[in-house]
Chains A and B, each alone.
Chain A
Amino acid sequence: MGCKKKVVLSGNQAIARGFYEGGGRVAASYPGSPTVEILESMKEYDEIYSEFSTNEKVALEVAMGASLYGSRAMASMKHVGMNIAADPLMTFTQTPINGGFVLVSGSDPGMASSQNEQDNRIFGKFASMGILAPGSSQEAKDFVKFALDTSEEFETPILVDISSRTCHSRGIVELDDRVEKEPSGFEIDQEKYCMLPPNTYKAQYFMKERLEKLRQYAYDLPINILEEVDGSDTLIITSGLMYYNLKELNLPVSIYKLGMVYPISTRKVRELSEKYEKIIVLEETMPFIENELKRKGIECEGKRYFSFTKEIHVEDIEEGLFNAGVVKERRLTRVEVIDTVSRPPMFCAGCPHRPIFDILKKSKVKVIGDIGCYSMAVLPGFEAAHTNISMGASVGMIKGMNKAMRQNNDDEPIAAVIGDGTFFHSGLSGFVNLLHQADEEDNMTLIVLDNRTTAMTGGQSNASSGRYNVDDDMDASIKEILNAMGIGRVIEIDQFDYNKIKEIINGELKKKGLSVIIATRPCALRYKIKEPYFYVDPEICIGCRSCVRTNCPPIKMKKYEGIDKLKSSIDPDACVGCSVCAQVCPVNAIKRSK
């Protein structure tokens, strides 16, 4: 003892390690910030079968199948992925779990990389799961192992709710050896696993009793930590990273840290409430713990002092506790964040999405957007996508808007964009639906941005990556799939042939009917594209800024010596030689090097 190996791991890596040590066998995920790295880290362990599935629903189902067989299984996703996976989850949870089953869902308080801030815990409670909330890398590892054991002992799925900050933060983790868990095999038992009435009637009682047992178990759960301070009349109930932020303040108050945030032991919190005058609940986003306590009739305050949105930092906690009368004197000085030039994310140099959005912007067409790198077309620079809701939504939405326009005799063309990852994730069903009650007066142009990778989350493989990667085993042709569905007008284009694709896109926008355009250039970042760079000849440049408006990182107006007017310039270190700027230049002032 005492000589265990210690390493620095991120929360995500620690989750993968916990699954490995806990005898995990099958892990599936769909990439989404903040949990992408969990499955990427699984690849290190030969004992684990892991995959990035087509979407979160499929990932959950893969893990469900393994668990039914008795193997320890994990599905990981970001919070909004839970929405996709909700259908199987809400029924699977009615079955008694065989092999330990853990669902890890990354929340994103403050929405650094997400379209909403939904609280995982609401979902976990809805699905009648036990919910654990780790706040450090060590806990991430320990809690996953605990979840696997608890899942089997109580025949319950367990949700590990981990915040974006804890996923990406690193800390020191003590490693243990793997404990092998042999699967029991799948035994036919229709009453347990066939969720039709009357089996579902029994399942309701099963879930209720299971939760009650878990609630009893929570009374002296080792991962729920009570730190009592003599003389403190206040108890702060908290969980996850909030505990560690609170500890930074080094306050003489008692703390009850919930490792398991649901269910909460009623007996335990009643006992505690009798000992303390004041109970403060510290949690990010929704008042989940606070509401659970209030529902039990326990007086407490939480959201009165802490924000319902964004991350809660050490300074915010001090301020909240000061307002609550717990902190007498404020130590931390809050300095205003510096107000300076913003830096919105932008398409990489050589990104094949750039010419598409340059053309769409110039065409002034309304564009139904979707989720992926191309969501950045919303941002300043282009502002050439006009909705951004959820994965695959653009396909259904363009149809609905088009039908509403027809009813209203509005014959303006509309366009939608969707990437290849999103196409396979949840675009397919929308595409088939386009053919239902199709009308020759419809005017829809859909552009599939097939860059052969799930780019936004770091370039994971998907069903179309095999074209460029010998290691990838899938090379599904989007054109053939659409043709097989019965969509006749499918045009493949090379985005770096700017004038030609401009003619095609504008032509299809004008033309009535349904057109699908597939952009075929691979992701410049994932496939490390680097061609000889371009440069500007300032003597020829007329300073019109056509190239600058393509919003490419290396292109900027510059003062050249001996020339009065500003002329364009290209940073050769950052240019990857895609040629789009040279093609939009009206006077051929941009030339390839060498």
Chain B
Amino acid sequence: MDTKNIMVAGVGGQGIVLMTGIISQAAARDGYDVKTNDVVGLAQRGGMVWGSVRIGGKIYSPNIPVGEGDILLGMEPLEAYRWSHLMSENSTMVINKKRNYPIPVLLEKEEYPEKDIEKLKEKFNIITLDVEKEAKSVGNIKVANTVMIGVLSKYLHIRTETWKNILKENVPSKAIDENLKAFEIGRNHSNNK
């Protein structure tokens, strides 16, 4: 497989670090070299959090060079838009529908950039879904990230069995079934729904 550059973006507290962890473990299990990045620290308190995963034959830097991103998982639309400059043309962005409003919007100093987010579809292949709603449908809002990983799994040459094993190893035992269901929902998601 050529190097695949995966970007994960969201808001502090949305479990971005856990997502990059699961993706990297799955890639390593299937024999790929992998490196990840996570922005951790102050931003974890509701700030902008992003991570990246690079998968391939031999990976040197964990950083995705500008314009070389292949797929972006946006747990929040504004955060997906914020990092879109890293993405290559016609790459895929999977974007959660639910908005999380930052301070300038909450205080009515700035408008949430709906138009800019809407325009992303002119340059990228956009897939939208409400991951929290899907997660609630399997009975656990915390598996929202797993729905996202399910969508991602369609774009990588990593075996379904591997994804499922890695999920089992990383989530609490009582939440395994909910996570596996969430993964399937993501994997079977089609944008026409």
Name A residues whose Cβ lies closer than 8 Å to a Cβ of B: 6-8, 33-34, 112-113, 136, 164-165, 168-172, 241, 244-245, 247-248, 313-315, 332-338, 340-348, 373, 376, 379-381, 456, 458, 548-549, 551, 553, 555-557, 573
Option from A245, A373, A573 in Cβ contact (under 8 Å) with B45: A373
The interface-forming segment of B17-25, B146-154, B185-193 is B17-25
The CA-CA distance from A555 to B46 in the complex, in Å, is 14
Asked if A170 meets B21 with Cβ closer than 8 Å, knowing A337-B85, A345-B44, the reply is yes
The contact string, 1 if C-beta is below 8 Å from chain A, for chain B 81-99, is: 1111100000000000000
Q: Known: A112-B41, A169-B36, A340-B78. Is A346-B62 also a contact (CB below 8 A)? A: no
Within 8 Å of chain A (Cβ to Cβ): is B15?
A: no
B113 x A340 contact (CB < 8 A): yes
The answer to whether A381 and B107 touch (CB under 8 A), given A8-B25, A335-B66, is yes
A376-B67 Cα distance, complex, nearest whole Å: 33
CA distance A169 to B108 in the complex (A): 36
Contact of A165 (CB < 8 Å), options: B21, B33, B37? B37
For chain B, the count of residues having a C-beta within 8 Å of the partner chain is: 55
Given contacts A170-B21, A334-B66, 5 further A-B pairs with CB under 8 A are: A112-B43, A247-B61, A337-B85, A341-B102, A551-B107
Of B34, B103, B132, the residue contacting A343 (CB under 8 A) is B103
**B21 to chain A: which residues have CB within 8 Å?**
8, 170
Q: How far is the CA of A410 from the CA of B46 in the complex (A)?
A: 39
Asked if residues A338 and B81 are in contact (CB atoms below 8 Å), the reply is: yes
Complex CA–CA separation, A136 to B35 (angstroms) = 9
Interchain CB contact under 8 A, B25 and A169:
no
B118 to chain A minimum Cβ distance, whole angstroms, is: 13
Q: Are A341 and B45 closer than 8 Å at their CB atoms?
A: no
Q: Which of B35, B81, B100, B108 contacts A171 (CB 8 A)?
A: B35
The SS class assigned to the A binding surface is loop
Q: Which residues of A contact B40 (CB under 8 A)?
A: 33-34, 113, 168
Residue of A nearest to B85 (CB): A335
Determine if A341 and B104 form an interchain contact, defined as CB atoms under 8 angstroms apart: yes
**Identity of the chain A residue whose Cβ is nearest the Cβ of B112 in the assembled complex:** A341
Assembled-state Cα–Cα distance A62/B25 (Å): 35
- B106 touches A (CB below 8 Å): yes
Are B61 and A241 neighbours in the complex by a CB distance under 8 Å? Answer: yes
Q: Is the CB of B42 within 8 A of A380?
A: no
In the assembled complex, the CB of A243 is this many whole angstroms from the nearest CB of chain B, namely: 8
B107 to chain A, nearest CB (A): 7
Query: Can you list 21 A-B pairs with a CB-CB distance of less than 8 A?
Result: A6-B28, A8-B34, A112-B42, A169-B35, A170-B34, A171-B59, A241-B61, A247-B60, A332-B66, A337-B85, A338-B84, A341-B112, A344-B102, A345-B46, A346-B103, A347-B45, A373-B45, A456-B42, A551-B103, A553-B101, A557-B108
Beyond A341-B110, A345-B45, A347-B45, whether A170 also contacts B102 by CB under 8 A is no
Per a CB cutoff under 8 Å, which of B39, B100, B111 touches A168?
B39
State how many angstroms separate the Cβ of B104 from the closest Cβ of chain A. 5
Q: Cβ of B70 < 8 Å from any Cβ of A?
A: no
Assembly CA distance A537 to B63 (angstroms): 47
Chain A residue contacts of B110, Cβ below 8 A = 341
What separation, in Å, do the CA atoms of A260 and B106 have in the docked complex? 49
Nearest CB on B from A499, distance (A): 24
Most chain A CB atoms below 10 A, which of B13, B61, B66, B83:
B61
CB pair B82–A340 under 8 Å, yes or no, is yes
In the complex the two chains form, what is the Cα distance from A517 to B113 in whole Å? 42
Partner of B61, one of A113, A244, A333, A573: A244
Is B156 an interface position by the 8 A CB rule? no
- Return B85 CB to nearest CB of chain A, in Å: 4
- With A112-B42, A337-B85, A340-B78: A165-B107 Cβ-Cβ less than 8 Å: no
